[in-house]
Amino acid sequence: MSSSQNILVKLNEAGFSLNNKWLVKGVSLQVEKGKIVTLIGPNGSGKSTTAKIALGIYKKISGSVEKYTNKVGYVPQKISIDWTLPLRVNDFMVLTESISNDLIDKALSLTGVIHLKDKNLGDLSGGEFQRVLLARAISKKPELLVLDEPVQGVDFTGEIALYELIKKISDELNCGILLISHDLHTVMSATDHVVCLNGHVCCSGSPIDVAKNNKYKALFGEQASQILSRYEHRHDHIHTSEGEIKKN
């Protein structure tokens, strides 16, 4: 079903080493238009590194990266703004691309931080800053979105809302999303393809396939596997308003 025209970025056996130590090795994956690919794995398993390889931030890599779009939105895992830079949310929104005021307002409203538009970035809380980062990445209507733990520090209800927003953006803009997350439960419900990393690709496939994989169970434990099977269960039928159960 994957036509080559839809591919936005493709990694072939890609790897990156620093000081003679492989951060990640032999990763093959592709992100297509309208699809969400999620990278999961323990700390230090090479998720962020893989994202940076896909983005072209790391250049001296093994294997190869083919990138078919220049319209990229990126939410890095960690970003700190130096005090010496007087930067308001509004200035930050147009950092890499000049976009209209309407688009800025729309994106900030979608992530629920329009009221912070004139605030200094240094005065935001972690969760607020995360919402601004996401707003900035989506405001330029990218073809490829790379989100490295986009909801860290966001409150519980906000987290669910933002994941729903990410799913909605993927549908509306028909953009491909490479998502990194620790939150298996929430992420799996919206993902088309999961890549489980542990320095290399441990297993990959649809969320259900990955959940059944023994390597995944070994890495995350039986409980994590159950999270996914619960999800699977949850979606194989619909509860109608009359209280009936209808099979999909």
Partner 1 sequence: MLDDFFIRALIAGIGVAIVTGPLGCFVVWRRLSYFGDTLAHSALLGITLAYSMEFNIAFSVFIISSLIALTLIQLQKRTNLPGDALLGLLAHSSLAIGLVVIGFLSFIRFDIMGLLFGDILAVTVDDLLIIWIGGALILLILKLIWKPLFASTVNYELAEAEGLNPDRAKAIFTILMAAIIAISIKMVGLLLITGMLIIPAAMARNISSSPQKMVMYSIIGGLLSVILGLFSSLEFNTASGPSIITASLFLFILSLLNIKQSIKLKN
C-alpha to C-alpha distance for 218 and 36, rounded to whole angstroms: 24
CA 16 to CA 61: how far, in whole Å?
Answer: 5
Tell me how far, at minimum, the Cβ of 172 lies from partner 1, in Å.
20
Nearer CB in complex with partner 1: 5/80: 80
Nearer to partner 1, 6 or 120 (CB): 120
By beta-carbon proximity to partner 1, the closer residue of 88 and 200 is 88
Between 94 and 161, name the residue whose CB sits nearer to partner 1: 94
* Chain CA centroid to CA 241, Å: 33
From the CB of residue 200, how many other CB atoms can be counted at a distance below 10 Å?
14
Shortest separation between residue 183's beta carbon and partner 1, angstroms:
23
The nearer residue to partner 1, 72 or 201, going by C-beta atoms, is: 72
**Rounded CA gap, 55 and 59, in Å?**
10
> How near is the Cβ of 245 to partner 1 at its closest, in Å?
46
What does each C-alpha distance from 80 to 11, 14, 133, 144 come to in angstroms? 29, 28, 12, 23
CB of residue 193 to partner 1, shortest distance in Å:
21
Query: Which positions lie near partner 1, rule CB under 8 A?
Result: 52, 55-57, 70, 72-74, 76, 79, 81-82, 84-88, 91-92, 95-97, 120, 146
What are the residues whose beta carbons fall under 8 Å from the beta carbon of 82, sequence distance 6 or more? none
Q: How far apart are CA 177 and CA 192, in angstroms?
A: 10
CB of 226 to partner 1, least distance (A): 36
Give the helix ranges, DSSP H, for 118-206: 126-139, 156-172, 184-188
Q: Which residue reads 């059944």 in tokens? A: 212
